[in-house]
Amino acid sequence: MVSYFKDKVIIVTGASSGIGLASVKKFASLGANVVLAARSIDKLESIAANMKQEKVLCVKTDVSREEDCKNLIEQTVARFGKIDILVNNAGISMRAVFKDMELDVMRSLMDTNFWGTVYCTKYALPYLLESKGSVVGVISTAGYVGLPARTGYSASKFAVRGFLETLRIEHLYDGLHVMIFAPGFTSSNIRNVALTADGSPQGATPRKEERMMSAERVANILARGLFRRKTKMVLTPLGKATLFVSGRMPHVTDKVEYRMMANEPDSPLKKQ
């Protein structure tokens, strides 16, 4: 893969932690020019300093803001002259039942997860078409099946999947590679900062992070998927099993999902 990634220009949103950070390090180790995008420029610059590479660009980016996404693309092209890969990884989660949730929480999820992907892809697309490059949407199993107490999260990830599937078909014959990437539960801080019903962060993860797939392993699989130009990737045995069963016995999947989410500590769902 080293020869494939060497000197490619790769943008990763949500690059300050989790899958985004692990992906940046993986791509850099393969010789790519990496562009780190996140809201905290201090974190990005600290990461870049520790990487000790010249082929790194940090751009402060709130993907929910169209002008920030446009600036990200413009700065990337000004520095490197092209874009080969865009990894739309920035995202937020939530945990609340819809009847109790303030609508601003749903808007925040859609603005970051869905519109962030749309904005970045829109402005990067001319350059990706020129390079016959790749656009990736990091979604979740929740982008294939509804996840209880995560209505905003599931809705945003379903929307990303629909957007990218359509984009792939529109560009079926002009060399653009579109990949929908669903890692499943991955060890990261996304659950610590997940929004509650009133929009405040829940502050602690309700799941056992140490039992989940590591962000580094996810980044390795992401790199292999890009190298092979995969169109869809669903990781973890649980994610694959969920999709398999939901297509054949959706009523069973509904009950299993409800039970899993209801058994989380301080779950907003009632145990049955």
Residue at 264 is within a domain = no
What CATH number is associated with residue 168? 3.40.50.720
Residue at 272 is within a domain = no
Residue at 35 is within a domain = yes
What does the alpha-carbon distance between residue 106 and residue 175 come to, in Å, rounded to a whole number?
Answer: 35
Lowest average pLDDT, out of 42-56, 133-147, 215-229, goes to 42-56
Residue at 21 is within a domain = yes
Query: E-strand spans in the chain?
Result: 9-13, 33-38, 56-60, 85-88, 134-138, 177-182, 232-234
pLDDT of 207 higher than 60 = no
Residue at 256 is within a domain = no
Out of 119, 153, 173, 258, the active site residue is: 153
What domain count does the chain have? 1
pLDDT, one tens digit per residue, over 53-111 is 678 999 999 999 999 999 999 999 999 999 999 999 999 999 999 999 999 999 999 99
Query: pLDDT class for 260, splitting at 50, 70, 90?
Result: confident
Cβ pair 84, 10 in contact under 8 A? yes
Residue at 271 is within a domain = no
Query: pLDDT class for 263, splitting at 50, 70, 90?
Result: confident
What does the alpha-carbon distance between residue 270 and residue 272 come to, in Å, rounded to a whole number?
Answer: 6
Query: pLDDT class for 272, splitting at 50, 70, 90?
Result: low
- pTM, to two decimals: 0.92
Residue 81 belongs to domain spanning:
2-237
Report angle CA 253, 254, 257 to the nearest 5 degrees.
Answer: 80
Record the tokens describing residue 39, joined without a space: 């809201």
pLDDT, one tens digit per residue, over 162-186 is 999 999 999 999 999 999 999 977 6
Catalytic annotation present for 144:
no
- Going by C-alpha positions, the residue among 243, 24, 3, 11 that lies closest to residue 141 is 243
Say what the pLDDT of residue 167 is.
98
Residue at 269 is within a domain = no
Other beta carbons within 10 angstroms of residue 176's beta carbon come to: 18
pLDDT, one tens digit per residue, over 30-46 is 999 999 999 999 999 99
Residue at 7 is within a domain = yes
Q: Largest Cα–Cα distance of the chain, in whole Å?
A: 57
Chain centre distance of CA 184: 11
Burial class (CB in 10 A: 0-12, 13-18, 19+), 140: buried
